Amino acid sequence: MSEPSSQKAFPVSWEQFHRDARALSWRLSGDRGFEAIVCITRGGLVPALIIARELGIRLIDTVCIASYHDYKEQGAAQILKGVGPEVAALTADGGTRILLIDDLVDTGKTARLVRDMLPKAHFATVYAKPMGRPLVDTFVTEVSQDTWIYFPWDLGLSFQPPIRDGHPG
């Protein structure tokens, strides 16, 4: 990851995240035959709820991966949990009826791990950075590689210094 100081900030409110996840649902809608959602925890849990609601999908599972152990620092990716038996029953053909959801793809490291597990699943993220973009089938918004996305569940209300005082945002 780049140095935080050299990164642009892209803060996302709950409202914007909901709107973007709905936009992703529209792109995934139609007769695509998805029978299950597999979300990549933890960031994929929130868009998975919204997309499952919009598409009427009720079989939802998780793949638990931890790769960023400290703030903005990527460590070795670890798979803590794979899919359970109900979704495993859908994987014989590589997972064509499985919709994989994450909040974003950045370097593509997480996506690559999951793609190895479910090579034919449809992989969708709300946001994508250029390095990871080739690994994603559907996304809504691309941001530059040197942008850090701040998700609403990581944010709180705080004082913002005026722009003229050198606020970087």
**How many Å is the maximal CA-CA distance in the chain?**
59
Task: Tell whether residue 140 is a contact of ligand PRP (CB under 6 A).
Answer: no
In the bound state with ligand HPA, the residue whose beta carbon lies nearer, of 107 and 138, is 107
Q: What would the two tokens of residue 67 be? A: 């790769």
**148 contact choice in ligand PRP, Mg ion, ligand HPA, none (CB below 5 to 8 Å, kind-dependent):** ligand HPA
In whole angstroms, the minimum distance from the beta carbon of 103 to ligand HPA comes to: 7
Question: Terminal CA-to-CA distance of the chain, rounded, Å?
Answer: 19
106 noted as active-site residue = yes
Q: How far apart are CA 157 and CA 74, in angstroms?
A: 26
Among 93, 102, 137, 146, the active-site one is 102
Q: CA-to-CA distance for 87 and 156, rounded, in angstroms? A: 36
Contact 164, 141 (CB under 8 A): no
Q: Residue 64 CB, nearest distance to ligand HPA (Å)? A: 15
CA distances from 125 to 97, 166, 167 (A): 17, 33, 30
The residues, ordered by sequence, that sit 6+ positions from 140 with a Cβ below 8 Å of its Cβ are 20, 23, 24, 27, 126, 127
- Using DSSP's 3-state secondary structure scheme, residue 153 falls into helix
In the set 35, 55, 67, 115, which binds ligand PRP (CB under 6 A)?
67
* 152 belongs to the binding site for ligand HPA (CB under 6 A): no
Looking at residues 23 to 62 of the shown chain, list those that interact with ligand PRP (rule: CB under 6 A): 40-43
Contact flags string 23-52 toward ligand HPA, x per CB under 6 A = ------------------------------
Q: Does 108 bind ligand PRP (CB under 6 A)?
A: yes
Contacting positions for ligand HPA (CB under 6 A): 68, 104, 106, 148-149, 151
Q: Which residues are catalytic?
A: 102-103, 106
